[in-house]
Structures are given as C-alpha cells and as structure tokens.
A and B are shown apart, each in its own frame.
Chain A
C-alpha cells in the first residue's frame, strides 16, 4: 500500500472510531499525545505523526518564562559577566528546575476553559453529537479517500447493514477531509 493510501485509510479509521464512540467521552481529560500512544496502534501510518505533532506546545511562552531566570543571573550588581558565563549559568538554573518538575504530559488535565467551550456545544446540540448532517464529499479527492479506506479496511461485501456501515464510514471520511487545512497538511506530509 502506498504511503498516501495508508495515511488516508488511518485518518478515515480514526474518524470512524470517533463517530462510533460518541467522541470518546471517557478520554476527554487525557493528553492527546497519550491517547495516541495508548490507542493509536491500529493506525500505523498516522500514530507517529499524531503523537509527535500533538506533543508540540502551541506557544513560545517557555522562552519568555526563561527571562525570569536570566534576570536572576544578570543583575545590576553582576552586570560584568561574560556572555558565556551568563549562558551557562542560565542553562544550569533553568534546566535543573525543569528536570525537577513532574512529567509534563502525564500530569496534564484539560483546562476548565476548554471543557466549558465543549459544554456550550453540548448545550446547543443536546449531546455533543453533530446536529446537522456532514456536508457531502467534494468530488474527486473524497472519492479517492473513500476508495482507499474501503480497499484497506473493509473485508465485507456491500449489502444490508454493511452497506449502511460503509455509508457511515464515508460520512466520517467526509468529516475528516472537509477542511482545506487538512488536505494541505496531508499534501505537505506526502510532498
């Protein structure tokens, strides 16, 4: 299977799991990095990308927090320190304090603000499930994605409940790829 097909199949499989398990309510407090480490094994192509991507923090605030350490090293009374000494002492103080901290990912808990953002959505829709049907897949790309998924993950013929399942999976695929951003990211990953 090509890398593209494997990636698309994994993304569709992830979307199908999400749809089937009501957006994974029980794992809402888990750091997504841990979620992918624990449950992402079936998605061999996507797991390393997802785990590493989700462990990246979205801000550069850590660099600014370091200024406090720097202020303690380079004071008005110690203003003739060489750059090298300031650099070495800052690293020693900052990194020692970081190494004493508990596991950053393991102690993570979703902040109340994000739960409130979801609670507002739950209030709008009743259960957190989408109230409106997902939009139909936009032509060629969607067809490719659905074909890739079905050729990989499905071992049943298309009649009866299986046909309905296939339809649900197609909708899940549509949900995943209904974004120019994701398509751009997949293209970028495979470029």
Chain B
C-alpha cells in the first residue's frame, strides 16, 4: 500500500507460498516498487546517498519516503534492511498498533483489568444468548419509556484492544438494564438461565466501580486510535497525541489511582520510544496545531 496520501494498493503477497522472512519480503517489496504504478518515483536512493547527498536534498525529489509497518521482528528486520539499502529514507512503526499495545498494557492495570474481565463476561453472554439479548432489549425499552436513557450493548473484535474501551463503556451504560434483566429473568414468559458468574458480574459493586473509573481513559484512547488510523491523519499526531495523553494523565482521569496512572504513563512512553523515529518528532515540531504543547 502506498499513500499519496490517498492509499493506493500496489500489490499483494500471499504468505505461506514462500517463506515469510525479511529477505523474501524485501525482495517482493522491491519488485512491487519497481512495478508499473511506481516506476520512476520509487527508485533507490543508495547511489545518491553514497555520492554524498543529504536526506534533505532527497526530500525534494519524487520518491516513496517512508516505510510504515507493524512491529513483529520480521517486519522490523525488513524495514531496517530497506532503509539501509536506501529504498526508503526512514521507517516507522505503526501508531495505531502502538496505541493498541498501550490499550493491552492498560488491560494489565488492576482497575482496567477488573473492568475488562467483568465487562467481557457480561457482554459475551448477553450478545451470544438470543433469549437473554431479547429480554435485555425489552427491559431497555421499558426503562427508556420511563425516561431513563439506556445505551445499546455493543461488542468489538477481541483483537482490537482499544475497542474494548467502548465495550466497557457500553456495559457501564447498560448496567441498570442488565440488573433489571437479571431480576426479571425468572418472571418473564420464557425464563432464561443466567450463569452465576454473569449474575455476579452484573450485581458486583466493585465491577461497576471499576467500569466507571476505567472507561473515560479507555474510551478516550479508543477515540484517539480511531483518528490515528485515518488516511488523512498527519504524522505529527503520533507524537502529539502520545505526549498529551502522557502529560494529562498526571492530573486527569482521576478515577484511576495515581500509581495506576503512572503505569499508564510508562506504557505510553515505552511504546512511543520503541515505535517512533526522529522524523516523527520532527513532524510534531513542524505542525502549528501542536504549538502550545511544544511550549510546555
């Protein structure tokens, strides 16, 4: 995929047919770059660099500048070799993957872990059992008729860690309806059997408290990730968002304890420093939007 910044698909590679090593991938990548779509704009800069040209001068020419990959060791080796050969001027790791890894780090922080575990127990049962789902829907409609606003229960793919923030928030919004559903289950026309762990999770005050405390940060992280994944997001948002999130954790999202917020700050720092490139920092310094942040 090449961003112009409109994404253009240059080619696909069927893994499994050949060994997925960095060398094989690099060979296929070079073949793709010299294909008809990119001929003339993706020439290797190794000759110019060997001749003493600076990267600054190469920015002005038509070429594919950067390589963005996720972070398995194969992809890291691939991007390192591609930059060394002069195929790209620099390489960076994907910001959306970094934000997702921060969300997975957050899932190890006690309050987020409890909120996530109990929310998944509840969400899994009430979305997979048709009779429970319909009873919950009826209860939600009844509560809405009484003037109370009740959000819909939503689930997200388990592989996207940041999406779990929205699952937790939707369970939090549904808790009154869920508690009514658990109470009503024996009295409805078609009684349903709710497993004990689900009943315990719905009625647990500790879980409700954890959901209330953890969801603001996790939901915000999910919103930020949504932006970082967009094709039009500028490179400067990578450093800007991570830096601001890290710094506002010092005195915001106070539902989470200070020690836990420090853990989250550490996760943001660690993921950013291991994923970014000096060019990402330069982009942050060149974006006028983040001027007030730089002043700090």
Contact = CB atoms under 8 A, between A and B. Distances in A.
Interface of A: 3, 7, 11, 14, 18, 23-24, 27-28, 31-33, 35-36, 45-46, 48-50, 52-63, 65-66, 69-70, 83, 86-87, 90-91, 94-95, 98-99, 101, 104-105, 107-108, 110-114, 116-118, 120-122, 125, 128-130, 132, 134, 175-176, 179, 181-182, 184-186, 188-191
B235 interface: yes
A182 B276 CA distance: 13
A108 B232 contact: yes
B15 to A, nearest CB: 11
B286 A94 contact: no
A18 B296 contact: no
A72 to B, nearest CB: 13
B226 to A, nearest CB: 8
Given A98-B7, A120-B248, A182-B285, A45 B231 contact: no
B69 interface: yes
Nearest to A10: B286
Contact of A32 (B10, B229, B236): B236
A180 B18 CA distance: 41
Interface of B: 1, 3, 5-12, 14, 17, 54-57, 59-60, 65-66, 68-70, 90, 92, 94-97, 220, 223-224, 226-241, 244-245, 248, 252, 278-283, 285-289, 291-296
B241 A114 contact: yes
B224 A113 contact: yes
Contacts of B7: 62, 65-66, 98
Contacts of B220: 113, 116
B282 A121 contact: no
Nearest to B14: A83
B54 A175 contact: no
Given A63-B1, A104-B6, 16 more contacts: A23-B295, A32-B286, A32-B288, A49-B286, A60-B68, A61-B230, A101-B6, A104-B5, A105-B5, A107-B232, A113-B227, A117-B248, A181-B281, A181-B282, A184-B281, A190-B54
28 contacts: A23-B288, A23-B291, A27-B288, A32-B236, A48-B60, A49-B282, A49-B286, A53-B286, A54-B286, A58-B96, A58-B235, A59-B68, A62-B3, A63-B1, A66-B1, A87-B12, A94-B9, A111-B223, A117-B245, A118-B244, A125-B296, A129-B295, A181-B280, A182-B281, A185-B278, A185-B281, A189-B59, A190-B55
B54 A61 contact: no
A101 B230 CA distance: 13
B95 A59 contact: yes
Contact of A61 (B12, B96, B244, B285): B96
A-B pairs, top 7 by smallest CB distance, nearest first, are: A181-B281, A130-B295, A23-B291, A185-B282, A58-B95, A61-B229, A59-B96
Nearest to A190: B54
Contacts of A66: 1, 7, 9, 12
A130 B94 contact: no
A57 B230 contact: yes
Contact of B289 (A28, A86, A101, A104): A28
Given A83-B17, A86-B12, A98-B6, A50 B286 contact: yes
